[in-house]
A and B are shown apart, each in its own frame.
Chain A
Amino acid sequence: GAVVSQHPSRVICKSGTSVKIECRSLDFQATTMFWYRQFPKQSLMLMATSNEGSKATYEQGVEKDKFLINHASLTLSTLTVTSAHPEDSSFYICSARDLSGGQSDEQYFGPGTRLTVT
């Protein structure tokens, strides 16, 4: 099956620093990847759609200058949390669509990255 990886799985950083999270589709190409955020005991909320070769589109209320997204290749998207603050502490999960198979609408999710800002 389609596999999506994320790196790192867990990161702790100081307030004011920037953190980069990678999302990779390991065995398929993904022109579109999605970034979600999940606060404790809450569901996933879509942050942005990452499009290979073009600018990401952000959901309402998500600051594009704070959450920088780069989708440089068909297998890699990165999310950079700039000038992180404690309120950015969350579980960040990416997903990707595998267009090569018949289930073209199915999204495969990465294992998530736990970000803690101190």
Chain B
Amino acid sequence: KQEVTQIPAALSVPEGENLVLNCSFTDSAIYNLQWFRQDPGKGLTSLLLIQSSQREQTSGRLNASLDKSSGRSTLYIAASQPGDSATYLCAAPKGGFQKLVFGTGTRLLVSP
């Protein structure tokens, strides 16, 4: 059974700070792990998808790492901006590579 946990649950930082969001999963037999962003009342925006054969993926100021052996992934946000304020969700597959199990999310607030 796949269980996904994210810490911290909430994070408040001043603009410009670099920050790290953590995601842990119990079943390390995964094909990939995906990070999403969700704005209040909105759907999900895919940020990064890391395949099991990769250790890192980068997109702009975002960098996601994956360590299958320890069951952990981190999302690094460089030079945070107020527009980064949102809930960040990680999701890992269960029972194969299709069904996603979501973490509880980290609610990020970046103040100007």
Contacts and interface: CB of A to CB of B under 8 A. Distances in A.
| Majority-rule SS of A interface residues | strand
B98 A97 contact: yes
B89 A43 contact: yes
B29 to A, nearest CB: 14
Contacts of A95: 44, 100
Interface string A96-107: 010000010111
A108 B100 contact: no
A109 B43 contact: yes
A108 B46 contact: yes
Contact-residue bracket for chain A: 20 to 34
Interface of B: 31-32, 34, 36, 41-46, 49, 51, 89, 91, 93, 97-105
Contact of A44 (B41, B45, B46, B89): B89
Interface in A38-57: 42-46, 49
A34 B51 CA distance: 20
A25 B1 CA distance: 29
A37 to B, nearest CB: 11
Contacts of A46: 99-101
B89 A105 contact: no
B87 to A, nearest CB: 9
Task: Please list the 3 inter-chain residue pairs (A to B) with the smallest Cβ-Cβ separation, ordered nearest first.
Answer: A109-B44, A111-B43, A112-B43
